[in-house]
Chains A and B, each alone.
Chain A
């Protein structure tokens, strides 16, 4: 499906999405509270069939955090990028790990580095950081570590 057709289809599924034209993939902005149902329909809808989540990450803009999901369909070969803004003081979003199993590990990584709370995640704990780093979110822009970090 081309980007235009995807735009029409996605607006049908969730009416509050907005689109950005940036690069070759369609960028979709949405609200984090609609994530679970939207993700389910992205996966299960027969004409969309997004079954490959190939990137799940978080970006820290200084005023807010935003989650970024890259989805592709192995059947139709179309790709979209989904972004949603999270509130900095209480960042939480539904977990996508029951829909795409790979999200389990990626969400653990985002939890340990940014502090985003994933609701209903089966096993939310630190992935790569050693013990003792709970509560410290190193990749946030306001993270201070006088021992290791040398400010440029």
Chain B
């Protein structure tokens, strides 16, 4: 599946004031920072369950996500920007997930992929060990429905995350905004 070339154009934010020797770009620094951050999000390797197979297939040649900037998947949370929770979170894994999230450097974003990460999924009833949704452990920005979601759906969620960052509406950015306002 190919995206049409017109959809994925990311114009650099701001407008150009024409001057005789070229132009001056006038923009807001927040827009430039958001643009830069959203176009190069590095995901953390975190696949617990079957959704990881779909995540691997999104990462590989056919549905390549590195054309959106998710070039390098980092194994260490210190160097990652976004954590894609692909799979079931069980009670034994929840402290490890919290620790990984705490170790990630700001700004960090979270995508909950698949039914298990959204709400416990098929394991919502009658189980002694599954956490009913990753948002009981860490705050989530984008939810992708599916069991497992198609690679196209995961790509859609990555694009949605990029749009959210550019609009300033992720949890990270809202938290920072309210912190700056109360100062």
Other-chain contact of A130, B92, B126, B127, B130 (Cβ < 8 Å): B92
Cα–Cα, bound, A88→B128 (Å): 21
What is the distance, in angstroms, from B146's C-beta to the closest C-beta of chain A?
A: 22
Interface residues on B, range: 10 to 19
Q: Mark A119-138 against chain B: 1 for CB-CB distance below 8 A, else 0.
A: 00000000000100000001
CB pair A148–B124 under 8 Å, yes or no, is no
Interface residues on A, range: under 10
Is chain B's binding surface mostly helix, strand, loop or mixed? loop
**Residue A152 CB within 8 A of the other chain:** yes
CB pair B125–A150 under 8 Å, yes or no, is yes
Cα–Cα, bound, A78→B98 (Å): 49
CB pair A150–B126 under 8 Å, yes or no, is yes
**Residue B129 CB within 8 A of the other chain:** yes
Q: Which residues from chain A sit less than 8 Å from chain B, CB to CB?
A: 130, 138, 143, 145, 148-152
Q: Which 8 A-B pairs have the closest CB atoms?
A: A152-B125, A138-B128, A145-B128, A148-B128, A150-B125, A149-B126, A130-B92, A149-B128
Q: Which residues from chain B sit less than 8 Å from chain A, CB to CB?
A: 91-92, 124-130, 132
